[in-house]
Amino acid sequence: MRWLNDLERRIGRHYIPNLMKYLTLAMAGVFILEYLPLPQSAWYLLYFNRDLILRGEIWRIITFIFLPPTGSLLFILLSLYFYYFLGTNLENHWGGARFNIYYGIGILGNVVAGFLTGSATNSYLNTSLLLSFAVLYPDMEFMLFFFLPVKVRWIGWAWGLYLIYQLITVPWQYKVALVFSFLPFILFFGKTAWLQLRMDGRRLLRWFNMRRK
Nearest to 179 by CA among 112, 94, 93: 112
Whether 13 shows a pLDDT value over 90: the answer reads: no
Half-sphere exposure (Cβ direction) of 73: Cα atoms closer than 13 Å: 3
Q: Is 144 left (phi over 0), alpha (psi -120 to 50) or beta?
A: beta
Residue 209 contacts by C-beta under 8 Å, 6 or more apart in sequence? none
Predicted confidence (pLDDT) per residue in 84-107, tens digit: 999 999 999 999 999 999 999 999
Q: How many residues does the chain have?
A: 213
Answer whether residue 171 shows pLDDT above 60: yes
Kindly report, residue by residue over 107-143, the tens digit of the pLDDT. 999 999 999 999 899 999 999 999 999 989 888 888 7
> Which domain, by its residues, includes 168?
2-212
The DSSP letter of residue 39 is S
pLDDT of residue 36 exceeding 90, the answer is no
Number of independent structural domains in the chain:
1
On average, the pLDDT of the chain sits at: 87
CATH for 193? 1.20.1540.10
Q: Taking 70 as the threshold, does the pLDDT of residue 213 lie above it?
A: no
Cα–Cα distance between 87 and 99 in angstroms, integer? Answer: 8
What tens digit of pLDDT does each residue of 41-68 get? 889 999 999 999 999 999 999 999 999 9
What are the backbone angles phi and psi of residue 35, rounded to the nearest 5°?
Answer: -100, 0
So what's the pLDDT on residue 178?
92
CB 16 within 8 A of CB 22: yes
Other beta carbons within 10 angstroms of residue 149's beta carbon come to 8
Task: Please tell me the distance from the alpha carbon of residue 50 to that of residue 118, in angstroms, as a whole number.
Answer: 5
CA–CA dist 168, 130 (Å, integer):
21
Could you give the CA distance from residue 7 to residue 31 in angstroms, rounded to a whole number? 34
Q: Could you tell me the sign of the dihedral formed by the alpha carbons of 173, 177, 180, 183, in that order?
A: negative
Strand positions, DSSP E, 86-181: 141-144, 148-151
Question: Tens digit of pLDDT for each residue in 145-158?
Answer: 667 788 888 888 88
Q: Are strands 148-151 and 141-144 parallel, antiparallel or unpaired?
A: antiparallel
- The amino acid at 102: Y
What's the pLDDT at 149?
81
